[in-house]
Amino acid sequence: MITASRLAQTKEYYFSRKLREVRQRIADGRPVINLGIGSPDLPPAPEVTAALQDALAHPKAHQYQSYQGIPELREAIAGFYKAHYKAALNAETEVLPLMGSKEGIMHISMAFLNPGDEVLIPNPGYPTYAAVARLVEADIRTYDLSAEQNWLPDLNALAQTDLSKVKIMWVNYPHMPTGATATKDFFVELIAFAKAHQILIVNDNPYSFILNDTPVSLLEVPGAKEVVLELNSLSKTFNMAGWRVGMLCGNAEFIQAVLKVKSNMDSGMFYGLQRGAIAALGMDKTWFEQLNGTYARRREWAWKIANALGGDFSDSQQGLFVWVKLPAGTSAEAVADRLLDEVDLFITPGTVFGTAGEGYIRISLCVSLTDLEAAHRRIIEKNIQL
């Protein structure tokens, strides 16, 4: 049986392959510390799991659910955006719950892209943007980001190119993997750019509360809904990665187009998950303060690891990672392989996120202080020199 031609340029997700190797090493008795994955190791709030448990007794809990989610969940999402981002959303028409925001990348692409349409994708950036573009047979155009430009796209340079075939531009601030942030002034410029060139901007926004006291949504910008969809997620903000609860917000017509795809792909989110999500979205500022207190302490050890390796980094990064520039001429993948082989540390090479990630590594904060301290100690004791 011959597979579809679209798979010819689609590789297995890096972390799927690499984590299989890590698991095998652990099975072989190696004490591997995983500093690569951004899967929160902390639990959700007790109120969240209690809401899930209570929902199991609801008479319709185990039936098919609405493709759009229960009204209470959409209202909770709209309330969350109003309270934290000062962005007004119509819960009925401008909010679509998702089974994790990752599925939204596929649904949006299927709703708006035809073969041959062009997609602007950040380099470095989340690999799934490019993978999905290939699956729907769109043409990828990367736009390079750099530390010198604060990891923001040069919109003036892009405007000088032929953008007539571009349908979607993916942006992601706070940015993964670099932890860079975008100002509201930049977002205003981005909206004007999108309108001038008739491009749909999709902002992937799952990190806005992590090590950040001033979360921002692209939908706060006046006029944004004309050209913007925004993905968000409970995975990072509320330690619910395995729950697979996300959301898509923005223009009602765009949402309806995505729903046409989604409604043919699933049969609605489990009722208990929706009730748990509602509880999470209602958490007060104490939750965010405690969570960020933990990540701040972990980040200090990640900085120590970066310093021990001779790397450089910005201390203003946000999100679940520390993005580290390696000494000049150092191969990111060679460093990652060496650390795994010599000290049983798995750290993500920047090349996973594109060619502009060469010379960088990414350290996750989703591990305990004990593991971070142990990782630092191994590097010091083995005298790893890059």
Q: Quick one: average pLDDT of 189-196? A: 97
* Residues paired with 168 in a beta bridge: 119, 200
- Residue-wise burial string across 113-124, b where 16 or more C-beta atoms lie within 10 A, e elsewhere: beeebbbbbbbb
The whole-number pLDDT of residue 14 equals 66
Cβ neighbours, 10 Å, residue 386: 17
Q: Residue 272's pLDDT band (boundaries 50, 70, 90)?
A: very high
- Using an 8 Å Cβ cutoff, are 343 and 31 in contact? no
CA distances to 35, 39, 145, 346 from 30, rounded to whole Å, are 15, 21, 37, 12
Which residues, at least 6 apart from 79, have a Cβ–Cβ distance to it below 8 Å? 281, 282
Peptide bond into 127 cis (omega under 30): no
The whole-number pLDDT of residue 9 equals 66
List phi, psi (to 5°) of 180: -75, 155
What pLDDT, in 10s, does the model give residues 28-55? 888 999 999 889 999 999 999 999 999 9
* Tokens standing for residue 201: 């901007």
DSSP secondary structure string, 27-44? HTT---EE-S-----SPP
Give CA–CA dist 222/72, Å, rounded. 26
Token pair 């989703």: residue: 366
* Residues paired with 141 in a beta bridge: 120
Give CA–CA dist 69/269, Å, rounded. 7
List phi, psi (to 5°) of 254: -65, -40
The whole-number pLDDT of residue 101 equals 85
Give, as one character, the DSSP assignment of residue 232.
E
List phi, psi (to 5°) of 338: -65, -45
Cβ neighbours, 10 Å, residue 297: 12
What pLDDT, in 10s, does the model give residues 96-142? 999 988 899 999 999 999 999 999 999 999 999 999 999 999 999 99
Q: Quick one: average pLDDT of 317-326? A: 96
Higher pLDDT among residues 8 and 87, named by residue: 87
CB-based burial of residue 231 (10 Å sphere; 0-12 exposed, 13-18 middle, 19+ buried)?
buried
